[in-house]
């Protein structure tokens, strides 16, 4: 049972307990031992934030509103719980406490129910167990000191191998599976991760991915080099969504959703703990954390027949998560990022499982193209784990590598299976990149319907997936792969299709500039990103600068090339130099980038026309 009136959040709980931790404000309420902690059953918890404009009239109104709820749920106790996180516009502490006391007294008088008030001005821990629709689905701990919602439930971990055997993670032999061991150490045993300097950060900066100091923490800006990489990954994400072999619709939407819409609030509570909120006028909005909201809100207005299923909906969604400041990481843990989010509507669980196999295959194929592999964490509900064991084994067989299974009680989340695909990065840390989930809850929650052969309406089972992960996380993987090359003593590079400048043409002196331009234009005509270093610098410096930018191909032209109508190509990847014709070169680069999108240069072609960006200074 919930409602959100005048910054109140009402939750009818089977059990609720709290304990004060330490004062949160200079002005805090003195409390005697009796009120330092409390434990209640069948309790209506009223989370209360007093805002700067609130007054006694507001309290009266609140009591009226609460009355309805008390009548319905018949709690044995009412607990008024000061909770500063429902608004950012707080009343001064002394005034807030006064109004809370008034609220307490008036509540006591209004209902024939015991009323308690938790102490004001303290950091408190609390545990809540709810009943009643829809929060009966929730069993969560809200840590009041951070406003972070965390669910508390028993996790049971297993290792499932491709031959269908189940092991206790404590007894598994990890000798042949070092990556799995790293994941298990973190997820199961909570081992501290090794420190170290992450080379990926340097590479991010090299390519123009920087923090934007004039925004909130965790927001990046993307220079022209970074922008072209983003653009390509976005195009690619859409391309591979269409390669799944089912119809896919591409849409666009908004990024903020009103928390007074029931499905939005419920989805937010189920999603968890990193909601990024915004107050506008008198409304609270959640910034979307993926494309789910927009697509579901759109799909509930579509008329869908069973004949249309399965089909997908895709959006490149700007997404927001209020990650902790200490955990922010360029291109990986961001407060704003882009999610190439695909949702696939299916008739039922059976069809969802079949389609998920295609999704899984695509996810594995794509990471393989980067020369990497995933280690998987399967979060699965108890019911699914018991009833669909064979299906799980089949999925694990296709991984061709043991997976970590986390079994959680059924009914807590909206999914029955939630697979997280992690790479183990250059710091030997698991990093979640791709994911897919089988969702049995949101079809109903958002009232998305399809009509079957008999004309009856059903809610679809929905697959959520990011086939290559978030756009920035995919790029993180690319840079991390380069960091691993460097660790092995190789020249690091990124795939040519993603290089901001794929080819640089350098004339050995001014008199060969015309030939250099001619060469560049021929290559550009074929859709490649090529520029010309026309600066008055030495040849050595020009070659070094191109190397610093990781340009895959450097073409040097001078008298010999002009005479023989050839080019001299330095290949970053192999460190060799080759003389060839322009046509031969174009053939080579076409072959190398086959199957990937092309997009034009995001900078002027002549280096002399470019200022020095922050990240190259
Ligand atoms: Zn989703």
CA 374 to ligand 1 centroid distance, Å: 21
Same domain flag for 386 and 247: yes
In this structure, is residue 188 part of a structural domain? no
Same domain flag for 230 and 304: yes
Same domain flag for 396 and 250: yes
**What does each C-alpha distance from 200 to 193, 236, 615 come to in angstroms?**
17, 22, 14
Best CA proximity match to 565, nearest among 583, 552, 587: 583
Phi and psi at residue 213, to the nearest 5° = -65, -20
In angstroms, the CA 96 to CA 118 distance is: 13
Q: What is the DSSP string of 527-574?
A: T--EEE--SS--HHHHHHHHHHTT-SEEEEE-HHHHHHT-EEEEETTT
Burial class (CB in 10 A: 0-12, 13-18, 19+), 214: exposed
Q: Check residue 448 and report its DSSP letter.
A: -
Please report, for the domain that includes residue 222, its CATH number: 3.30.930.10
CA 339 to ligand 1 centroid distance, Å: 10
Same domain flag for 140 and 231: no
Same domain flag for 388 and 317: yes
Please report, for the domain that includes residue 61, its CATH number: 3.50.80.10
CA 293 to ligand 1 centroid distance, Å: 8
Same domain flag for 462 and 504: no
pLDDT tens-digit map of 68-98 = 778 777 888 999 998 877 666 777 888 888 8
Question: Which residues does residue 116 pair with via DSSP β-bridges, in sequence order?
Answer: 79
CA 150 to ligand 1 centroid distance, Å: 20
In angstroms, the CA 419 to CA 436 distance is: 5
pTM over 0.75: yes
Same domain flag for 141 and 212: no
In this structure, is residue 340 part of a structural domain? yes
* The token pair that represents 49 in the structure block: 């934030």
Average pLDDT over residues 361-372: 98
Q: Which of 410, 445, 479 is the last residue of a domain?
A: 479
588: Cβ contacts below 8 Å, ≥ 6 apart: 580
In this structure, is residue 413 part of a structural domain? yes
Same domain flag for 160 and 144: no
CA 372 to ligand 1 centroid distance, Å: 25
CA 292 to ligand 1 centroid distance, Å: 4
pLDDT tens-digit map of 557-607 = 999 999 999 999 999 999 999 999 999 999 999 999 999 999 999 999 999
Best CA proximity match to 312, nearest among 290, 343, 340, 341: 343
CA 162 to ligand 1 centroid distance, Å: 28
Given pLDDT bands bounded at 50, 70 and 90, which one contains residue 237? very high
Q: Which helix H or strand E contains 105, and what residues bound it?
A: helix 93-110
In angstroms, the CA 519 to CA 515 distance is: 6
In this structure, is residue 486 part of a structural domain? no
Q: Which of 151, 179, 207 is the last residue of a domain?
A: 151
CA 486 to ligand 1 centroid distance, Å: 36
Same domain flag for 10 and 102: yes
At residue 70, the 3 state secondary structure works out as helix
CA 237 to ligand 1 centroid distance, Å: 15
Is the pLDDT assigned to residue 435 strictly greater than 50?
yes
CA 296 to ligand 1 centroid distance, Å: 9
In this structure, is residue 409 part of a structural domain? yes
439 in Cβ contact with 415 (< 8 Å): yes
In this structure, is residue 389 part of a structural domain? yes
Phi and psi at residue 182, to the nearest 5° = -65, -45
Q: Check residue 325 and report its DSSP letter.
A: G
Q: Return mean pLDDT, the chain.
A: 90
pLDDT tens-digit map of 33-64 = 888 899 998 888 888 888 777 777 778 877 87
Best CA proximity match to 211, nearest among 369, 97, 336: 336
Domain limits for position 95 = 4-151
Same domain flag for 304 and 431: yes
Looking at residue 3, what is its pLDDT?
31
In this structure, is residue 251 part of a structural domain? yes
Burial class (CB in 10 A: 0-12, 13-18, 19+), 4: middle
Radius of gyration for the chain, computed over Cα atoms and rounded to the nearest angstrom: 29
CA 254 to ligand 1 centroid distance, Å: 15
Same domain flag for 15 and 44: yes
Is the pLDDT assigned to residue 140 strictly greater than 60?
no
576: Cβ contacts below 8 Å, ≥ 6 apart: 570
Please report, for the domain that includes residue 555, its CATH number: 3.40.50.800
| Number of domains within the chain | 3
Q: Which of 92, 119, 151 is the last residue of a domain?
A: 151
Looking at residue 6, what is its pLDDT?
56
Lowest-pLDDT choice from 129-138, 185-194, 227-236, 348-357: 129-138
In this structure, is residue 190 part of a structural domain? no
Same domain flag for 99 and 231: no
């Amino acid at each position: 049972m919930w409602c959100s009136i005048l910054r109140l959040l009402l939750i009818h709980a089977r059990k609720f307990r709290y304990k004060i931790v330490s004062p949160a404000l200079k002005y805090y309420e003195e409390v005697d031992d009796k009120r330092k902690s409390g434990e209640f059953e069948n309790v209506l918890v009223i989370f209360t934030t007093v805002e700067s404009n609130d007054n006694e009239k507001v309290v009266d109104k609140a009591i009226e509103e609460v009355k309805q709820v008390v009548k319905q749920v018949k709690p044995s106790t009412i607990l008024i719980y000061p909770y500063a996180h429902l608004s950012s516009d707080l009343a001064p502490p002394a005034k807030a406490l006064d109004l809370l006391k008034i609220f307490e007294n008036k509540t006591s008088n209004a209902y024939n129910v015991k009323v308690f008030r938790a102490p004001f001005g303290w950091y408190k821990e609390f545990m809540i167990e709810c009943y009643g629709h829809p929060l009966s689905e929730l069993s969560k701990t809200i840590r009041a000191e951070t406003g972070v919602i965390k669910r508390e439930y028993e996790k049971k971990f297993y290792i499932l191998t491709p031959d269908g055997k189940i092991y206790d993670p404590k007894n598994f032999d990890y000798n042949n599976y070092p990556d799995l061991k790293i994941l298990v150490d973190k997820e199961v045993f909570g081992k501290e991760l090794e420190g170290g300097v992450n080379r990926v950060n340097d590479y991010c900066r090299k390519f123009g991915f920087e923090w934007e100091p004039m925004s909130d923490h965790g927001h990046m800006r993307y220079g022209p080099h970074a922008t072209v990489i983003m653009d390509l990954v976005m195009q690619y994400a859409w391309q591979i969504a269409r390669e799944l072999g089912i119809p896919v619709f591409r849409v666009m939407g908004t990024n903020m959703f009103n928390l007074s819409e029931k499905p939005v609030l419920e989805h937010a509570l189920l999603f968890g703990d990193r909601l990024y909120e915004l107050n506008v006028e008198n409304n609270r909005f959640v910034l979307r954390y993926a494309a789910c909201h927009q697509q579901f809100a759109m799909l509930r207005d579509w008329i869908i027949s069973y004949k249309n299923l399965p089909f997908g909906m895709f959006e490149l969604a700007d997404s927001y998560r209020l990650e902790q400041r200490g955990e922010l990481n360029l291109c990986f843990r961001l407060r704003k990022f882009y999610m190439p989010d695909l949702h696939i509507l299916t008739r039922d669980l059976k069809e969802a499982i079949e389609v998920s196999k295609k999704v899984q295959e695509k996810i594995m194929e794509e990471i393989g193209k980067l020369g990497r592999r995933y280690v998987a964490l399967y979060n699965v509900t108890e019911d699914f784990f018991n009833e669909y064991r064979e299906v799980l084994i089949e999925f694990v067989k296709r991984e061709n590598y043991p997976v970590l299974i986390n079994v959680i009680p059924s009914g807590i989340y909206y999914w029955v299976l939630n697979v997280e695909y992690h790479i183990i990065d250059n710091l030997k840390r698991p990093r979640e990149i791709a994911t897919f989930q089988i969702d049995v809850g949101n079809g109903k929650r958002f009232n998305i319907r399809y009509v079957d052969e008999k004309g009856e309406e059903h809610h679809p089972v929905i697959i959520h997936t990011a086939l290559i992960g978030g756009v920035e996380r995919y790029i993180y993987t690319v840079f991390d792969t380069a960091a691993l090359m460097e660790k092995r003593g190789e020249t690091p590079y990124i795939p040519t299709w993603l290089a901001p400048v794929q080819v640089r043409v350098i004339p050995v002196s001014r008199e060969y500039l015309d030939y250099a331009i001619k060469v560049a234009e021929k290559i550009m005509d074929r859709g490649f990103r090529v520029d010309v270093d026309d600066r008055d610098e030495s040849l050595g410096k020009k070659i070094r600068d191109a190397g610093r930018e990781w340009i895959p191909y450097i073409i040097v032209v001078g008298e010999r090339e002009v005479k023989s109508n050839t080019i001299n190509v330095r290949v970053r990847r192999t460190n060799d130099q080759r003389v060839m014709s322009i046509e031969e070169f174009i053939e080579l680069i076409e072959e190398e980038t086959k199957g990937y999108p092309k997009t034009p240069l995001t900078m002027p072609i002549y280096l002399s026309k470019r200022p020095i960006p922050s990240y190259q200074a």
